[in-house]
Amino acid sequence: MKKESSVCNCVNIRRAAQSVTEIYDRYLSESGLKIGQFSMLNHINAMSPVNVSRLAEKMRLDRTTLVRGLKALENEGYIIDASEKGTRSRSLALTPTGEKALEKAVPLWEQAQKYLEDNLGTDTLKEFTSLLSEIESLTD
């Protein structure tokens, strides 16, 4: 069922983001991860070892927001600080538990991707992604 739009573009974009987040969280629920956690683990895995500032820059997240999310991942035993003793900069890496969680989550994430493609169409998603990049660049 199509929902009524707001006159405010910001509200419409935020509502859409919330809906997409709910879709991914639903698909990922079996893994125990939410989409934000999955994204952090995926980025850390690809960039490992990585310091917090570089990770925040790559993910385009506020450092404070990222640190809060990383703390939860650390508490769950998914990531560790792999930096050498005595260094001031944290260097993050996945633990074996984190690797297993990510491995379990990837096919579920792929199902969420497919769900959106099937329901919105690949061409529409490409156009939408391009538009989102344009919107994001308005603040540069």
β-pair partners for 92: 50, 81
Q: What is the mean pLDDT of residues 66-81?
A: 95
Q: What pLDDT is recorded for position 4?
A: 87
Estimate to the nearest angstrom the gap between the alpha carbon of 133 and the chain centroid: 16
Percent of the chain predicted with pLDDT > 90: 85
Higher local confidence (pLDDT), 89 or 136: 136
13-65 pLDDT per residue, tens: 999 999 999 999 999 999 999 999 999 999 999 999 999 999 999 999 999 99
Find the range with the poorest average confidence among 22-36, 47-61, 82-96, 103-117. 82-96
Do 61 and 78 touch, CB atoms closer than 8 A? no
pLDDT score at 17:
95
Beta carbons of 36 and 62 less than 8 angstroms apart: no
Q: Which domains does the chain have, with CATH numbers?
A: 11-127 (1.10.10.10)
Q: Could you report how far apart the first and last alpha carbons of the chain are, in Å?
A: 36
Q: Is the pLDDT score of 137 beyond 90?
A: yes
Give the pLDDT score at 133: 93
pLDDT at 1: 75
Q: What angle do CA 122, 35, 74 make, to 5 degrees?
A: 150
At 83 the pLDDT is: 80
Nearest 10 degrees: CA dihedral of 93, 97, 101, 103?
80
113: helix, strand or coil = helix
